[in-house]
Amino acid sequence: MVEWDHIIKNGKITTADDCYDGNIYIKDGKVAAVTSEELPGEADETTDANGCYVLPGLMDTHVHSRDPGSTHKEDFYHSTLAAAAGGITLVFEMPNTNPPINNVENFENQVDNLSKKANVDFGVWGICLGNLNLDSIQSLDESGVIGFKFFWGYAIKRDTYELVYNYSSEMKDIIPPLDDGEVYKIFREVSKTGKVLAIHAENNELIHQLTNEVQNEGGKDYEALVEGRPGLAELTTIQTGIAFSKHTGARLHVLHITSAAGVDAVRSAQEKGDNITAETCPHFLFLNTDDYKAIGPMMKVYPPVKYKKDQDKLWESIEDGTISIVCSDHAPHTEEEKDGDLWSIPAGMCGVETTVPLMLNAVNEGKITIQQLVALLSTNPAKQFDLYPRKGSLEIGSDADITIVDLKQPFEIKREQLHSKSKVTAFDGFQGKGKPLATIVRGKTIMKEGQIVNDHQGQWTKPVSKSTTSVEPGLCHPPMYYMT
C-alpha cells in the first residue's frame, strides 16, 4: 500500500489555464498524483482544502532582505517568515547586499548564509557593476545565479561596492553611474549566459536635472518628488535597454515598471518580437499620487508611485499580457529612517507578506481571474527564470510547492502583525477579501491558517533546463495522474 507524505484533498486545483476539483498526493517532496479519485494509503499529513483554491506555489521574484549588510532593517529569516505567512513558497533575493553578489566567492557565501535562515525556497540574483565585475559574469552564471540585475543610473562606493541612489558629483570615493558604453558591455556579456538581465529603469542624469529644478523652486510635496523622477526617466532608460537588448540578444526584464509611457515602450517592443518582459508591484497597482496625503512617507519608493492614469495602464497591461509578473520589491527600512522630510528619507517598504492578499482581493474585485493570479505569481516567473516545471507547476514530479487560498475570507493588513523586522507598509489598515490559508514547500506545511508551524525548511533553488527536470508533461484536467 502506498504511503504518502501529504494528501491535499477536496480542493479546487487551479493552474494558469484550468480549475477543477481534485486531490493532490505528495511523496518525497514531489507531486506524485493529481486525481479526482481517492487513492489508497495513509499519509503523514492530510489537509482538507474544501472550498479553497489549491495553487502551484506562489513566488516573489524581487526581495531585498538586507542580509548581510543592514540586518537592523531586515534579515533573511524574518523576510522568509513573512513570505511564508503571506502564501509565498519561493523568493528571489536581490544582490545589492554588503558585500554584493558580484563574484562567485560572495555568491557561494550568500547561499550558505541564506540556507541557514530560509523558511521558504530561494534563488539568488547576481549583480552587474560594469567593468568592476564583467569578468565574473560567466562564472556567476555557472554557479547558479537566478539572473543578473543592473541598477541603471546608480553610483557605486569604491570601498564596499554598495550602491548610491542619489549621486552628485561632490561625493567622495564614489564611482559615478556607468556610461552607456559600459552598460552596453554588460548587455553583451550577460547575453552569452542566456539568463535574464533585469534593470532598474531610471535615467540618473534626467532625474538629477529635474530634481534640482523642483527643489530650487521650493517643491517639498509628493507631486514635486514625482516631477523630479517622472515617467520620462523610466521611458528613456527602457528605450535604451530595448535597443541594447535587440543588438546583443540579451533577455531584458524591466523591473517594477510604473508608468504608462514605460508600458507602451515595452508593449511596442514585444509586438515587434523583441525579447523583453516586465513586472510591476502591488504599490503601483493599488496606489497613486492621490493616496500620499493619507499614507505619507511610508509610500515613498523608487521609482515612485505615479498618477491614476499610470495605475490604470498597469492594470490594462496585466490584462493584455505586457506585464507578466507581479512581485513585491520588498525593501524594508526602520520607522525611524522613514521619519523625516520626503527628500531625505529612504525609498522602500515591506511587501512580501502583503502581495498575495492584495492580489486575491483584486480577483474578488474582478480585476484579474484566479488563473491570471497563478500566471503572474507562479507559472510566468518559473518559466522566465528557467525553473519550470520543477517550480510553478502541479505536474507529476514537480516540487510539491503549494499555496492554498480562500477567496471568501476577509482580511485587514495590520502593520504590527507583519513578520518582518520592519513594519513599514503603505497598506496598514487595508481591508479586503481573499487570504492565503496554507503555504506548503516541497510537501511540508510552513504556514497554516496564519500561523507558522515549521521554520528553517527552505532550500536554495538554481535554474535548470527542462531536459534535466524530472516531470511528466501536460497537466490538462485528467481524471488522474499517478506516479509510484
* Helix, strand, coil abundance in the chain, percent, nearest 5: 30, 25, 45
Residue reference for cell 524594508: 332
- CA-to-CA dists, residue 75 to 111, 294, 431, angstroms: 14, 29, 27
What confidence tens digit (pLDDT) does each residue in 20-37 have?
A: 999 999 999 999 999 999
Quick one: pLDDT at residue 469? 39
Quick one: pLDDT at residue 464? 83
- What lies within 8 Å, CB to CB, of 113 at 6+ separation is 67, 68, 76
Answer CATH for 4-54+398-482 from 2.60.120.620, 2.30.40.10, 3.40.30.10, 3.40.50.1220: 2.30.40.10
- Domain(s) labelled CATH 2.30.40.10 in the chain stretch across 4-54+398-482
- Domain(s) labelled CATH 3.20.20.140 in the chain stretch across 57-384
Amino acid at 276: I
Q: Which residue pairs, CB below 8 angstroms and at least 24 apart, start in 126-131?
A: 126/95, 126/101, 126/102, 127/95, 127/96, 127/100, 127/101, 127/102, 127/151, 128/186, 128/190, 128/197, 129/100, 129/102, 129/156, 129/161, 130/178, 130/182, 130/183, 130/185, 130/186, 131/182, 131/185
What confidence tens digit (pLDDT) does each residue in 273-332 have?
A: 999 999 999 999 999 999 999 999 999 999 999 999 999 999 999 999 999 999 999 999
Over the chain (484 residues), what is each successive 10-residue block's mean pLDDT?
Answer: 91 97 98 96 97 98 98 98 98 98 98 98 98 98 98 93 85 93 98 98 95 96 97 98 98 98 98 97 98 97 98 98 98 96 95 98 98 98 98 98 98 98 97 98 98 98 63 37 42
Quick one: pLDDT at residue 168? 82
Pairing of strands 53-56, 43-48: unpaired
177 vs 141: CA distance, rounded Å: 24
DSSP 130: G
> What kind of architecture, by CATH, is found in domain 57-384?
Alpha-Beta Barrel (3.20)
Residue reference for cell 523576510: 79
What confidence tens digit (pLDDT) does each residue in 246-276 have?
A: 999 999 999 999 999 999 999 999 999 999 9
What confidence tens digit (pLDDT) does each residue in 36-53 have?
A: 999 999 999 999 999 999
CB atoms closer than 10 angstroms to residue 224: 18
Q: Residue 130: what are its φ and ψ, rounded to 5°?
A: 70, -140
C-alpha 252: how far from its chain's center? 16
306 vs 341: CA distance, rounded Å: 19
125 vs 199: CA distance, rounded Å: 12
Q: What is the mean pLDDT of the chain?
A: 94
For 276-292, letters b (16+ CB in 10 Å) and e give bbbbbbbbbbbbbbebb
